[in-house]
A and B are shown apart, each in its own frame.
Chain A
């Protein structure tokens, strides 16, 4: 393709397959409409308009992704998919599966973001005001709200869609930045505990910037090695093995570092508890579900396509990362007293479980990881949605001790939270079990039995903090001035219900989604 550019005297218009890119284009388009709404619509109209545009955009993008996946001509001649937009984007079944997952999860997360009933709104009225200042109080009294969160979310989701689809490393880097920058902003917008929120945004931004730098440094190394940023070209160069291996291994390490940072694998996990705790809870839900799915999608593509021939080289390191991730996530989770930090460490451990699927490096590993991510994403959003509902005077009742006796006050909410915890613990008949089963069986097939044993042992460790929360909610007595469960509006209600329904359904009849994931993974990624 570079040849055509060199040969022609005039620069020809690149061939862009608009229809195959349409899910991403729709999301970015909706984001831009959101910016226009922010600029021109009267203040009172903004929120309803934003909700319609955001949810509509995500829904349309989802439908388009499904339509593309159902179009047989793309997968003609037994090809796993097509490389489009001058070789920068791969459209194949795994990517479409991941994108569709992200879109559905983002839809549910936006429902949480849109919640604004009386006290439950998660966002500060005026982010620029100094915490505790007079301006802030004024903003609060004037009923201001940051409706920019909707377009920001859409931009982030657009980046998340492109991240796992990117077929060359530069596109991937741009997608990484597009998804990260809005998230840095969103992290700092919490309505309560503003300083904590700003600290979270700052930390996430600084560490994220470092990891981006490492990522782009890795891209440079790999370009030096193979003379291309395209994943397939790197794979070819690695196969011939003529250039300096030092460049290759440094490149893999730095690139892997950037990707592992985004999924929060140990030792690149330090941001996760702080950021999850400080961010507005709906944004945490978005990050814990969609960002994780997207980052894993990119990780899977890079390691299966570009480094697919080098399994023996990267696997030992990934083994170590997966083991320490599972161990540290589960052990440190025991000591947590803040519910969001607990969920953050649990999310670290869960990332470790998905890594066992990645390490399997076979179709079963790919489909298992994708299934796990979808199942886990829904349960996570549901859990964070419930966190937004349990409130005391200072906002969300973050400290676990104030959750004591919740089961006696509001059995339904406590019961649902227990359901999500049981899912995270991987008890049978919940989606978490189906997911763990999928990745662990893939890992055993891929010859990683010790990894599975570590996974199982850490699951037992991780069950302890979950069980402790359940004990606290159901067996302890409520404190007299304990938190109350606010009545959610339909938005949060739907989000919780969706999480619970998917958790139970995927636990009892995982077959449809599993066969979909298997079908999507059957030919791996397009090269």
Chain B
């Protein structure tokens, strides 16, 4: 095992990039408009270079990762941070965390490219005419801060997945809110202030409940003369009383359910995603939401196995409600970003369902879905953002016939949309299928209802496509240019990944599988043996064999 501090380096690079951006001359520095343009361009180039270097480092790390290793975490580093509180700077990844870090690192350069001009402002595309728009002065923002915030957020995203100390995890979990809050509040559109405050307060409340649980866990770990600690590896084997275990589970779970978001804790997401710029929305839905589901898998299940069993029925019911509710509400949306946000509520329900059915297919599928959902929804948000940037409206009814004037944009949007409805051959199909199969082996009724969500998904995606892209070309849309090279470069990697992982998911499954098996062992669950080997179950069997034959 190499001793190179991969995770620390990967996390530090964006921070260094952010510092470098802060030291470039700002908007108020003297110079003509052209000088200012040049300075803004420099900032963007630094941001792009930083995210690409980070991606390279994470890929190099992934290559070094040994899926068959007996260690729970690889690339581990443990240093004392606040010895009085038993707090460590401890990082390390298992397969699940690794693929999520990879996903974040892939999304970042894409988001930087896609947000190239977002910070510069312009008329409000949300259709809300503010007093300022009437006066005719477009909002002018600091390009510097936008990209610096984005890079700081990347550091925290890597940190939150890499932390193996509960305290460190909590710190990243909470600190992540601040850059996202400013990205929505300062650079967003429409009711951005309301959305930013709602996002922050919801997340803060969840985070504080988790803080109680974190502190209590720490205090319990110090009982019976042991040295109190926050290290995940020590807390994992803590024997808690059933009552304490249940309360602590709830403390963590509510925080993660708000973050994910699981119905009924989801109301902040549509507002936040609608008001955020497309790039910020991608990070919000693509990565920040995954922190919630990742937390459930890593912390709720592994730290409180018995309480997880107790609450499984409740979580499954909430997940199924979320799947159906998100899908039905998405059908009724008029705002394109809001629609995508509600589809995410539905998909996140499917992910929590996969986690809590406690079967290896379910959890493998859920983890794979986290990655695929990041790519698919990211592509949807970004392409929708390109369209909104052209027409300056987020309302679906303002579009029509786009595929005739911008075929490339419409075609890629269709692929991303089909990935959203889990079309076979695209990556989300594999994960959704695994989740549903994993659910069926234990909770048949839930699987039936969840499958209904996929039918609804076909309705909301295809109907949206039909209303925006097909039909007669509307006048306002007629002059809409097709994708520029920069925009194409931003989306192409995501579309490529969606197709590639749909055809050949094995490399990712190989990384995920051992970690999922370890989780299941920790929660004392094994896969149920089907009474009669039905055709569906055989399908699973091959899928699993494919996964574990590394």
Contacts and interface: CB of A to CB of B under 8 A. Distances in A.
A474 B142 CA distance: 12
Interface residues of chain B: helix, strand, loop or mixed (majority): helix
Contacts of A477: 132
Given A474-B185, A475-B196, A518 B219 contact: no
A490 interface: no
B85 A422 contact: no
B193 A471 contact: yes
Contacts of B83: 511, 515
Interface string B173-201: 01101100010011000001100110011
A444 interface: yes
B212 A515 contact: no
B193 A475 contact: yes
Contacts of B185: 471, 474-475
A460 B204 contact: yes
B212 A456 contact: yes
Interface in A460-505: 460, 463-464, 467-468, 471, 474-477
A28 B207 CA distance: 47
Contact of A444 (B132, B197, B209, B215): B215
A483 to B, nearest CB: 20
Contacts of A319: none
B216 A444 contact: yes
B84 A511 contact: yes
Contact of B171 (A428, A453, A460): A428
A240 to B, nearest CB: 34
Contact of A428 (B132, B175, B192, B219): B175
B197 A440 contact: no
A428 B169 CA distance: 11
A399 interface: no
B207 to A, nearest CB: 9
A456 B174 contact: no
Contacts of A268: none
B72 to A, nearest CB: 25
A319 B218 CA distance: 23
Contacts of A464: 197, 201
Contacts of B218: 441
Contacts of B209: 456
Contact of B174 (A427, A434, A457, A510): A427
A511 B192 CA distance: 39
Contacts of B7: none
Interface string B476-512: 0000000000000000000000000000000000000
A422 B204 CA distance: 12
B197 A468 contact: yes
Given A440-B215, A449-B216, A475 B186 contact: yes
A445 B216 CA distance: 8
Given A429-B171, A452-B215, A474-B182, A510 B197 contact: no
A440 B171 CA distance: 16
Nearest to A446: B219
B211 interface: yes
Interface residues of B, number: 32
A350 interface: no
Nearest to A440: B215
B182 A452 contact: no
Nearest to A477: B132
- Most A CB contacts (10 A, CB to CB) among B84, B174, B196 go to B84
Given A463-B201, A475-B185, A441 B219 contact: yes
Contacts of A468: 197
A361 to B, nearest CB: 16
B268 to A, nearest CB: 13
A328 B290 CA distance: 36
A212 interface: no
B170 interface: yes
A437 interface: yes
A459 B215 CA distance: 15
A428 B174 contact: yes
Given A437-B85, A460-B205, A422 B196 contact: no
Interface in B284-328: none
A514 interface: yes
B82 interface: yes
A434 B170 CA distance: 13
B405 interface: no
Residue of A434, A444, A476 most packed against chain B (CB within 10 A):
A444
Interface residues of A, number: 34
B41 interface: no
B88 to A, nearest CB: 12
A510 B205 CA distance: 24
Interface in B54-91: 81-85
Given A440-B215, A441-B219, A475 B204 contact: no
Contacts of A474: 182, 185-186
B205 A452 contact: no
Contacts of A422: 178
A456 to B, nearest CB: 4
Interface in B234-248: none
Contact of A510 (B82, B170, B215, B222): B82
B215 A441 contact: yes
Contacts of B182: 474
A460 B201 contact: yes
Contacts of A427: 174-175, 177-178
B423 interface: no
Contacts of A511: 81-84
Nearest to A472: B193
A265 to B, nearest CB: 22
Contact of B215 (A437, A460, A514, A515): A437
A456 B216 CA distance: 13
B543 interface: no
B510 to A, nearest CB: 35
B212 A452 contact: yes
A14 B211 CA distance: 53
Nearest to B178: A427
Nearest to B220: A444
Given A453-B212, A468-B197, A477-B132, A514 B178 contact: no
B208 interface: yes
Given A444-B219, A474-B185, A457 B208 contact: yes
B201 A467 contact: yes
Contacts of B208: 456-457, 459-460
B196 A514 contact: no
B186 to A, nearest CB: 6
Contacts of A456: 208-209, 211-212
A429 B176 CA distance: 11
A509 B89 CA distance: 12
Interface string B130-148: 0010000000000000000
Nearest to B223: A445
Contacts of B178: 422, 427
Given A474-B186, A475-B186, A445 B132 contact: no
Given A459-B208, A460-B208, A511-B84, A471 B197 contact: yes
Contacts of A515: 83-84
Contact of A441 (B85, B193, B204): B85
Contacts of A514: 82, 84-85
Nearest to B217: A444
Interface string A342-379: 00000000000000000000000000000000000000
Interface in B118-133: 132
Interface in B158-172: 170-171
14 contacts: A427-B175, A428-B174, A429-B175, A440-B215, A441-B85, A441-B215, A444-B215, A445-B219, A456-B212, A457-B205, A460-B204, A474-B182, A511-B81, A514-B84
3 closest Cβ pairs, A-B complex = A428-B171, A460-B205, A456-B208
Given A471-B185, A471-B196, A511-B84, 15 more contacts: A425-B204, A427-B175, A428-B170, A428-B174, A440-B215, A449-B216, A459-B208, A463-B201, A463-B204, A464-B197, A474-B185, A475-B192, A475-B193, A475-B196, A509-B82
